Structure 1
Amino acid sequence: MPDPTQPSPGGRRWRPSRRTVLKTGAAAGWFLGGAVAVGGGYLLGNRRSDRSMEDLDGRPLRILSGRDDTANGQRGLLVDQWNLRFPDHPAEMVELPGVADLQYGAIHAALQAGDPAVDVVNLDLPWIADFAKAGRLLELERPTEGGYLGRPLSAGEVDGKLRALPFNTDVGMLYYRLGAATDYATGTLSAEDAARIADWEDLRRVAEGMVVAGGFEGGIAMQLDAYEGFTVSVWEYLLANRVEAKSDGSIDFGDPSPAVAQLEWLSRELHEPVGEGTMILQESLRFAEDASLEAFRTGRTAFLRHWPRAFQDLRSCDREFDVGVVPMPGRVLGGQSLAVSAASERPDAAVRLIEFLTGPMAQQRLFEPGGFASTREEPYYDAIAQTHLLDPAVEAPCDDGGSPRVEAAQLFRALTGRDPEDRLDPGPEPGTRPAVERYTRFSRVFQEVVHGELEADSTPDLSRLQDLLDEAVAGR
């Protein structure tokens, strides 16, 4: 925690009052107690164990991973820390292309070939079941010390066996212009009114009112280009409209079905006029993360669906408005998990490595300077306790240099369904994408069929969607 007598890099001074300290004692005490309990079983984030590590014969442990999007390369720094702690068992991270399909292809090729030079793979959550069912991933011992968030940890389970540990997590979040009071004409929303948005009907009511009164081009900007973000955003739309998912996260698209009916409504919300705009900005059909964020930032929409990392971008020093964030209705879990290749010739060392990279110290680093969402509880309670110690009379810094993550409570709610300060009733946990074999093919077919139909300004023809998805999962 920063020195209370010194200004933070943003100029904000830490001035805890007796009342504030008492108010945050439970949260801070929980964090410190948890850190002691967990720290007793960890050394630099690595679980102490009698497990020995194999001789690497001069070959470093190799991790296949997507691009390091953390601030200042925190993933790479964690690998450097491992190498300093275990110089006889060095590791290296091999960054794959930024496109998800290319990452999947490279990892699939290495695992299918049984490449012994690949020890650890960093997997998008839906890929875990695919590779595990094909026998490509080592089964892991279940953690005994606790501390992981439940949903990200369970995402690594396939058929009751743990195959991956959560490295970083992600979840859909809803961004809005924060104001002291709600004003549809300016598109500002009070924090209290934003917290009441629980489903798509709530969001539609407010967003359409702002489009009409404020002249926005769209109620919300989303990621609906024909890539993996499309599958995630559409899944969230369906769940937010109370379409029920099966236990494996899949949805029935038989025609007729509630899901098909909602996809027809999605087409209307993209194309039917609302005031001078539409409920969902039409250009969202060509938006990935950056373009959707820019549409919201420049005032074209009242709301934005995005991932947690957008918060710091929107709080930049040149912002024209204060940004607020709440869990996205129907939010879907994202993130990546670390697994050990079944073909690794150094499985004990590889397991120790992923325990280190998902341990408490590593998760604190990925959360604070890295800007990612932590897969463990402690960083959230730490950030919330620090936020309570801020002097409300001093304006918050506009950058993230040393300042607490003030959105930590909302992010914790989105990932767990629980209020970290027990002020609100528990809500639902985040949904998931389907845990099916050949998920990548499943998602590609879903994008090709549904995106193509939504681009046409007509009622989408989805009569064969379920059959085509079944064929994709079956490998036909």
Structure 2
Amino acid sequence: MSEPGGHWSPRFRLVLIAIMLLVGVAVTMVSTILVTEVDESWTAGSVTRGVLSAVLVLFSGVYVNLMLAGIVKVWRDPGSANRSLDKTIRDVRGWLGEKTKWLGIALTMALIVAAGVALRPSPPPDTGLEEGKLVVMTAFDESANDPRLMLIKLWNQLHPANQVEVVFVSGEPDQQNVRMVNDAKPDGAHEADVYVLDLVWMAQFREERYIRELDRSTLAGLDDFVPKVFGTCVHEGKLWCLPLNTDVGLLYYRTDLPLAVKPPTKWEQYFGADAAAAAAGTPQVDAANAAPLANEEILTVMALEAMWAAGGKAFGENGDVAQNEDKTSVQLGAGDEIGLRELAAAAHDDRVVVTAEARSTTDDVAVRTFADGRTLYMRNWPVARDGLRDRVGFGVAALPTAGVLGGQNLAIRAGTGKPRAAQALVDFLTSAASQLILSEVGGFAPTRQSAYDNAKRRDMQELRSALSSARLRPVTRHYVEFSQVFRDGVAEAINDRSGRLKPETLQRLAKILNQ
């Protein structure tokens, strides 16, 4: 331990220094750990930990600085073995009395606190739902029997802190779009948290950053969505919405006539010469087809389906549009031109359509025409089924050629103050159970494969088949303007019987695409 003369041996000095260092490391670590555990709450436990942490940090600051001085003293002065306890205490008091020493103590304490703060684990993300009202802006009907509103009422029962208020947007689709854009844009009213967006508006709302990307980590069962439908929600790997309901044209045909009416296997059988012949041989009807050809969005749909039926390729299945080399004009092919000519011819053939009414017939009017027994066929959306029941005998089949994919998606406004609550609502409304309710109760085309697997409606598999061949309308953030110009051109081509889109119309369409 000590050598002759009262000096500590080198070995003992090294052991003593090591013990001092170990104690220093221990008190510093404990102090740092206590700092990491201090929180901002004023509970008894947190206050106790805070006081203990402060005392131990002060002790650590003093000890570390004394330890350094002690190590130097022990190593340089082997005669410290003869130092009395009183002498040691007087030296420590003298050392603490020097103001410069407290500067080192303060610096040590600051380093300990800084290390504790730096090592403090990040708080877990807040996964709870923000409280407060959620506003859904939609264009669907205000009917209390609408199953979509029934689902919202169920949400309200389950989430009293996040009651949903529905804002109904009236008018034609173009007017509805303007209303929602005026709410979503940076200087807009910002009334809504969630939008029910028509499929064709997705590019506009996504590219203008009116909506926010969804958090995939909190969503389960995404692989249950119909792939083609789910694809409308994804762009460049990011998920921007979830599909509330999808849509695609179905072919309705009569089953209550003396001569059996079979599901058509080609477009001409319900919209061309074959359809005219069938109607001529059936005196109970006025025409073959309850065709909706009013100058609304349905006219864009009817024109695209006629072009696709004739083999047209100008409007691709994924929403792309063919243009000439310098992109100054949309470029139609032979099939596209044939399809438009045949549509124009059908619109003026009173054996094919009710010519006095066809160019003012909307989807809803077409349902009444078919339900009154005036035609053999009707191309319409899945929701038309319930409006026909007990009014006319009918069957349902998938279109024999590609139909337009429609539907509505749920998207969250970019600047909502309740993103987690809004996403929880979107997830709830598009869940497997909700989709089955929308389908079985409301007659909507569901977006989840499980809804088709568990469907009781006898025509759901026809709908599933129709979805498999459905195609997108042109994908552009200026779709509203594009469709208006396109259908104006189609209406003109029908009215003048030419069945041709004018060059200036094709040029305007290209200009809109390239804006």
Question: Which of residues 262, 266, 275 is equivalent to 1:199?
Answer: 266
CA distance in 2, matches of 1:175, 1:108: 35
Aligned equivalents of 1:459, 1:235: Cα separation in 2? 13
Give 1:295 shift: 1.9
Classify the secondary structure of the residue corresponding to 2:455: helix
Residue pair 1:60, 1:90 contacting (<8 A) in 2 also: yes
1:139 aligns with 2:213: yes
Question: Where does residue 238 of structure 1 map in the other structure?
Answer: 307
Equivalent residue runs for 1:16-415 within 5 Å: 52-56=127-131, 59-68=132-141, 72-112=145-185, 113=187, 115-142=189-216, 143-145=219-221, 146-178=223-255, 186=258, 188-190=260-262, 194=263, 197-203=264-270, 204=272, 206-215=274-283, 216-244=285-313, 245-246=315-316, 248-252=318-322, 253-254=330-331, 257-271=334-348, 273=349, 277-282=350-355, 283-316=357-390, 319=391, 321-328=392-399, 329-384=401-456, 405-415=457-467
Name the stretch that deviates more: 365-374 or 167-176. 365-374
TM-superposed deviation, 1:71: 7.3
1:95 and 1:101 map into 2 onto residues whose CA distance is 15
- Distance of 1:51 and 1:366 partners within structure 2: 32
| Secondary structure of 1:435 counterpart | coil
SS of the aligned residue for 1:303 comes to strand
Unpaired runs of at least 5, structure 2? 1-124, 323-329
- The residue type equivalent to 1:68 in the other structure is D
Cross-structure match for 1:26 = none
Shift of 1:381: 2.4
Q: Residues 111, 166 of structure 1: CA spacing in aligned structure 2 closer, same or farther, 3 A cutoff?
A: same
**Residue 464 of structure 1 aligns to a residue in which SS?**
helix
- Residues 174-212 of structure 1: per-residue CA shift (max 9 Å, x gap): 010126xxx8xx56324xxx2xx3432454464233122
Q: Secondary structure at the match of 2:402?
A: coil
Q: Secondary structure at the match of 1:368?
A: helix
- Measure the CA separation in 1 of the matches of 2:437 and 2:411: 20
Measure how far apart 1:85 and its partner are.
1.4
Q: Which letter maps to 2:462? A: Q
Q: Which has the larger radius of gyration?
A: 2
| CA displacement at 1:430 relative to structure 2 | 0.8
Q: CA deviation at 1:104?
A: 0.6
Tell me how far apart the structure 2 counterparts of residues 158 and 199 of structure 1 sit (CA, whole Å): 34
Native 8 Å contact 1:63 1:92 kept in 2: yes
Question: Highest relative contact order (Cα 8 Å, sep 6+), 1 or 2?
Answer: 1
TM-score (norm 1): 0.73
Distance 2:189 2:133 in 1: 14
Instruction: Read off the aligned partner of 1:323 and give its amino acid letter.
Output: F
User: 1:390 maps to what in 2?
Assistant: none
Equivalent residues of 2:341, 2:498 under 8 A apart: no
- Offset of 1:300 from its aligned partner? 2.7
Report the secondary structure of 1:88's partner residue: helix
Secondary structure of the 1:267 match is helix
Tell me which residue corresponds to 1:464.
504
Q: Counterparts of 1:250 and 1:218 in 2: how far apart (Å)?
A: 35
SS of residue in 2 equivalent to 1:101 = helix
Asked if 2 retains the 8 angstrom alpha-carbon contact of 1:238 and 1:330, the reply is no
Shift of 1:406: 2.2
8 Å contact 1:260–1:462 — kept in the other structure? no
Q: In 1, Cα distance between the equivalents of 2:144 and 2:192? A: 26
Give the distance between the partners of 2:190 and 2:332, measured in 1 at CA.
Answer: 46
Cα distance in 1, alignment partners of residues 458 and 301 from structure 2: 26
Number of equivalences: 375
Who is 2:110 aligned against? none
Call closer, same or farther: CA 1:322–1:351 in 2, change over 3 Å: same
Percent sequence identity over aligned pairs: 29
Report the residue type matching 2:459 in the other structure. E
Cα distance change of structure 1 residues 381 and 71 upon mapping to structure 2, 3 Å threshold: farther
Identify unmatched segments of 5+ residues in structure 1: 1-49, 385-404, 418-428
Q: Output the CA distance in 1 between the equivalents of 2:237 and 2:290.
A: 38
Aligned partner of residue 212 in structure 2, secondary structure: coil
CA contact (8 A) 2:133 2:161 kept: no
Secondary structure of the corresponding residue to residue 68 of structure 1: coil
Change (3 A) 1:464 1:250: farther
Change (3 A) 1:250 1:264: farther
Are residues 414 and 264 of structure 1, via their aligned partners in 2, closer, same or farther at CA, if it must alter by over 3 Å? same
TM-superposed deviation, 1:139: 1.2
> In 1, distance between residues paired with 2:351 and 2:237?
44
Higher helix share: 2
Q: Deviations over 1:250-307 (max 9, x none)?
A: 4444266532332122212222x4xxx3334433211101211222222332210111
State the distance in 1 between where 2:269 and 2:410 align. Answer: 37
CA separation of 1:381/1:247 partners in 2, compared to 1, >3 Å: closer, same or farther? Answer: closer
In 2, Cα distance between equivalents of 1:90 and 1:461:
50
* Equivalent pair of 1:62/1:119 in contact (CA under 8 Å): yes
8 Å Cα contact 1:70-1:366 kept in structure 2? no
Distance in 2 (alpha carbons) for counterparts of 1:108 and 1:187: 51
Task: Kindly report the root-mean-square deviation, in angstroms, between the aligned alpha carbons of the 2 structures.
Answer: 2.4
